[in-house]
Chain A
Amino acid sequence: MKKLFDIIEKYLMPPMTKLSEQRHLRAIRDGIISTMALIIIGSFFLVIAFPPIPRLAELVQPHVGNILIPFRLTMGLMAIYASYGIGYSLAKSYKLDGVSGGVLSIAAFILTLVPASIEGHGWMLPMANAGGAGMFVAIIMSIFAVEVLRFLHKRNFTFKMPEGVPDSVARSFEALVPAAIIIVVIWTVRHLWGFDIQGFVMDLFKPLVRGVGNSLWGILVPIFIITILWAAGIHGVSVVGAIARPIWLVLLDENLQAVADGVAIPNIAPEPFFQWFIWIGGSGATLGLVFWMIFSKSKYLKSVGRASLIPGICNINEPIIFGAPIMLNPLLTIPFILGPMITGILTYFAMALNLVGRPYILAPWTLPAPIGAYLATGGDWRAVILVLINIAIMMAIYYPFFKAYEKKMLLEEMANEEGALVE
């Protein structure tokens, strides 16, 4: 087992470290995270428009169109918001002006849309690809915009303002040349040559999104990598999320659109799937272990268990990962990695067979899992039952390993006490 940890430390950590430190991936991660508040609040309007209680649903039915406006203008324009966030973060990472990077990125993204003039309404932008569907385009255009900005900055291809011009004015002039290049290039490619950037990029990423969205691998691989990283004491979700989150968001967006259109929900595995059904109590579903520790005969395990209960209910489990510890502890690592894979498979099939609703709402991750699961599925009580079943399964899986570890701890504690008496 020690060898396994050595292998992780030696072969898995360095590439993962590089990956999560990679400048563009970091900008994507930070940029997308900056839109989370809009996505969370926006998607809740969908629940209001289609409440789980039939009587209520009837009542709001005539107002659905109006209720969905905040949803459409947040979630439905997510790629635009994300463009700004990504452009801002990436520009800042190059020590360039963040706001210029953000604004140029929005422009670069919007230029890939084709406006149309509609009688009686004037010019309109199609929103179909401005939401989650346009996520990958937003990422690519933002990187393009900021790289142009950086290249010109490095070559000093900018208007320099004389001394005494206020900073903010100078900065907006510095972005003139980059803005001209970005606009002309994308305009030429998209509108003069008629090359469909949106369609091209979406087709490119389609296999990836499809492969993840509804396959068992799309669930087991992230679970395995996240838990094994945590077992080595590394924040697994933050590493894996850097790559997986754009995909998870596209899946979530497709589910939301389906609900808004009143058709069957297509995808099983957007992020809430992991958050509420698998990571109950935090990565590795440690809430089950916390319950055993609270009643442990070992003084140490008991006190760590008690201190970990409330954070655990809020899905914060660093106290138990570093306190028990689970990290680099072969006994507790086994259920920590295997348990979530088992509940993952169970949950996958429960959703694939439509025994439990599929998640489409993003709720704050610190909510207790049963509540989160209820909200995430738009108010499906069966989701709550599944979460409780998963907690019971995790308790059963942790039990034998916990007992073995407790025995070891008790022996140590006894030896310490005896040692103290002899002294």
Chain B
Amino acid sequence: MLKVLLVCSGGMSSAIVVKSIEKEADKQGMEVKVKAVSTGEFEDELKEGGWHIALVAPQVRHRFAGFEEAAKESNIPIALISPQGYSPLGGVRVIQQIKEIIK
């Protein structure tokens, strides 16, 4: 089971993306669990541990540097989701990205 932590501004919009990612993962027979959190919760959630990958939503990419620092401290790879991936039909792209990271 691959556990992915996804950060967006309020943890709201990403809930939709979570669905599209998990659906695509299902299709490809991967076991992926994604949790969406707001920018304020991100660091605390990382410290809780148990995550394999952290993903950042494109609309908060201006804060990427800060997230990256937190992820590094917890030794978790972090990546920015492309705008095309962050849409209701973008699950394919995000799964592709996840695969590249865990390779």
Q: Does B57 make an interface contact (CB < 8 A)?
A: yes
In the assembly, what is the distance between CA of A22 and CA of B9, in Å?
16
Nearest CB of A to B42, in Å: 12
Stretch of A183-191, A303-311, A343-351, A384-392 contacting B (4+ beta carbons < 8 Å): A303-311
Interface residues of B in 46-103 (CB under 8 A from A): 57-63, 65-66, 83-84, 86-90
**Known A17-B62, A304-B88, A319-B88: A311·B9 in contact at CB below 8 Å:** no
A303 proximity list for chain B (CB < 8 A): 88-89
**Nearest chain A CB to B49's CB is how many angstroms away?**
18
Residue of A nearest to B59 (CB): A235
B12 within 8 A of partner (CB): yes
Interface bin, chain B: 20 to 34
Docked Cα-Cα span, A230 to B66, in Å, equals 20
Q: How far is the CA of A319 from the CA of B90 in the complex (A)?
A: 10
The verdict on A238 contacting B66 (CB below 8 Å), with A30-B40, A304-B89, A311-B16 known, is no
CB-CB nearest 10 A-B residue pairs = A323-B87, A307-B88, A318-B13, A17-B62, A235-B59, A322-B86, A322-B87, A235-B9, A322-B83, A319-B88
Main SS of chain A's interface residues?
Answer: helix
Instruction: Flag if A233 contacts B63 (CB, 8 Å).
Output: no
User: Can you pick out 29 interface pairs between chain A and chain B where the beta carbons lie within 8 Å of each other?
Assistant: A17-B62, A21-B63, A33-B40, A233-B58, A233-B83, A234-B59, A234-B60, A234-B61, A234-B62, A235-B9, A235-B59, A237-B9, A239-B62, A300-B89, A307-B16, A311-B16, A316-B13, A317-B13, A318-B8, A318-B59, A319-B13, A322-B59, A322-B83, A323-B87, A323-B88, A325-B83, A325-B84, A325-B87, A366-B12
CB distance from A223 to the nearest CB of B (A): 17
Closest B residue to A318 using CB positions: B13
A16 at the interface (CB under 8 A from B): yes
A323 to B88 CA separation, bound complex (whole angstroms): 7
A399 to chain B, nearest CB (A): 22
Q: Are A318 and B66 in contact (CB under 8 A)?
A: no
CB neighbours (8 Å) of B86 from chain A are: 318, 322
User: For the complex, is A20 an interface residue (Cβ under 8 Å from B)?
Assistant: yes
List, in ascending order, chain B residues with CB within 8 A of A325's CB. Answer: 83-84, 87
Task: Name A's B-contacting residues (CB within 8 A).
Answer: 13, 16-17, 20-21, 30, 33, 230, 233-235, 237-239, 300, 303-304, 307-308, 311, 316-319, 321-323, 325, 327-328, 366
A207 to B29, CA, bound (A): 60
* Residue from B40, B65, B66, B87 in contact with A304 in the complex, judged by beta carbons closer than 8 Å: B87
Q: In the assembly, what is the distance between CA of A325 and CA of B13, in Å?
A: 15
| Minimum Cβ distance to chain A for residue B21 (Å) | 13
Contact between chains at A316 and B16 (CB < 8 Å):
yes
Q: How far is the CA of A328 from the CA of B14 in the complex (A)?
A: 20
Known pairs A233-B58, A304-B87, A325-B84; list 7 more (Cβ under 8 Å).
A16-B62, A21-B62, A233-B61, A307-B16, A318-B57, A322-B59, A327-B83
In chain A, what residue has the closest Cβ to B39? A238
A302 CB → nearest B CB, Å: 11
Q: Which residues of B contact A30 (CB under 8 A)?
A: 40
Given contacts A20-B63, A233-B59, A318-B59, contact A323 B13 (CB under 8 A): no
Residue picked from A318, A325, A366, most chain B C-beta under 10 Å:
A318
Contacting residues, chain B, for A323 (C-beta < 8 A): 87-90
Residues of B near A304 (CB, < 8 A) are: 87-89
Say how far B84's CB is from chain A's closest CB, in angstroms. 7
Q: How far is the CA of A31 from the CA of B27 in the complex (A)?
A: 42
Chain B's nearest CB lies how many Å from the CB of A409? Answer: 14
Contact (Cβ within 8 A) A322 B90: yes
- Please give, as numbers and ranges, the residues of chain A lying within 8 Å of B63 by CB-CB distance: 17, 20-21
Contact between B62 and A13 (Cβ–Cβ < 8 Å)?
yes
Contacting residues, chain B, for A317 (C-beta < 8 A): 13
Whether B16 contacts A319 by the Cβ 8 Å rule is: yes
Q: In the complex, which residue of chain B has the Cβ closest to the Cβ of A325?
A: B83
Which of chain A's residues have a CB closer than 8 A to the CB of B84? 322, 325
Task: Tell me, in angstroms, the Cα distance from A16 to B13 when the chains sit together.
Answer: 22
From A233, A308, A327, contact of B88 by CB (8 A):
A308
Minimal beta-carbon separation of B22 from chain A (angstroms): 15
Contacts of A327 in B (CB 8 A): 58, 83
With A and B bound together, what is the CA distance between A239 and B90 in angstroms? 25
Interface centre among A30, A235, A308, A316 (most CB of B within 10 A): A235
Give the shortest distance, in Å, between B3 (CB) and chain A (any CB). 22
Closest chain B CB from A227 CB (angstroms): 13
